[in-house]
Amino acid sequence: MPFDLSTLSPTVLLTAAIYVGLAGIYLLVVPGLLYVYLNQRWYVAGSVERLLIYAVVFVFFPGMLVLSPLLNFRPKRREV
């Protein structure tokens, strides 16, 4: 018996869409924005800001792992 999406109720489809949307936000969108913020503020953040950044990184750690192979945060070359 093949699976047919038309047999599912709209409530089930809406619930699945909400879960997929929230997972995408949790695993891709917020960690991507967090990486942009970290790249801009890493060397100038104060101690309280750095503590808050670490807390947010802890909360979104799975998404940070998903995006980590795509990013490179080597220090910028210094002018001598």
Kindly report, residue by residue over 3-59, the tens digit of the pLDDT: 777 788 889 889 999 999 999 999 999 999 999 998 888 889 999 999 999 999 999
- What would the two tokens of residue 28 be? 């891709």
Would you say the C-alpha torsion 8, 14, 17, 22 has a positive or negative sign? negative
Question: 66: burial class by Cβ within 10 Å (0-12, 13-18, 19+)?
Answer: middle
The whole-angstrom separation of Cα 59 and Cα 64 is: 10
- What would the two tokens of residue 65 be? 């792992």
* Cα distances (angstroms) measured from residue 59 to each of 6, 14, 21, 29: 37, 26, 18, 14
Q: What is the pTM of this model?
A: 0.76
* Per-residue confidence (pLDDT) for residue 11, from 0 to 100: 92
